[in-house]
Amino acid sequence: MALAMAGCASTSGYPPAPTTADTAGYNYVVGPGDNLSITVWRNPELSMSVPVRPDGKVATPLIDELVAQGKTSSEIAREVEKQLSKYVRDPVVTVIVTGFVGSYSEQIRVVGEAAKPQALPYKQKMTVLDVMIAVGGLTDFADGNSAVIMRGADGNKRYSVRLKDLIKRGDVSANVEMRPGDILIIPQSLF
């Protein structure tokens, strides 16, 4: 009996996930599906909201193709200023990301025994509890305490997380910060 109970315990063999994620220098990187609000000071006819196309580019008046994917909003603003300087004297451009989807490296993906497995856009200081609320919690068949975070930023290093303790028992010590590109894997329980 004791041997059978030991088989139910979390045996992932991975170190526990760090409670805080080092995202101090984090800047959001634009990806396909994001919406950008481009404002050109004193030129309202050049200001607009544009979607980032699936190929990672945007088109605005006077600029046919501008690669936005993989750049921060300030990098895009400087590029738009550079392109517009051919037509407008000393353009001042502000770019704000208004709709977030993000590239895969900016998303948190949840697979396995979540109620609604999905990819979520990363938000700074996002925790595993925020992720679990967004995906609707665990299924009845989930082995929450054997869940694993695969962290792409650490070379796909794996960390164990105790989702069942966090969600079912309210153990906030099991709540850890997520990082952009994390994959949360929730296995199925054997019984």
Question: Mind listing the pLDDT tens digit for each residue in 162-190?
Answer: 999 999 999 999 999 999 999 999 999 98
Q: How confident is the model at residue 23 (pLDDT cuts 50, 70, 90)?
A: low
Q: What angle do CA 59, 28, 61 make, to 5 degrees?
A: 15
pLDDT for res 8: 44
Q: What is the CATH number of domain 35-99?
A: 3.30.1950.10
Region 36-42: mean pLDDT is 96
Domain residue spans in the chain? 35-99, 104-186
Residue 17 has which token pair?
Answer: 């996930």
Q: How far is it, in rounded angstroms, from Cα 144 to Cα 146?
A: 5
- 95 pLDDT above the threshold of 50: yes
Region 113-123: mean pLDDT is 94
Which sign does the torsion angle of CA 92, 50, 102, 125 carry? positive
pLDDT for res 174: 93
**What global pTM score does this model have?**
0.76
Q: Does domain 104-186 have CATH number 3.10.560.10?
A: yes
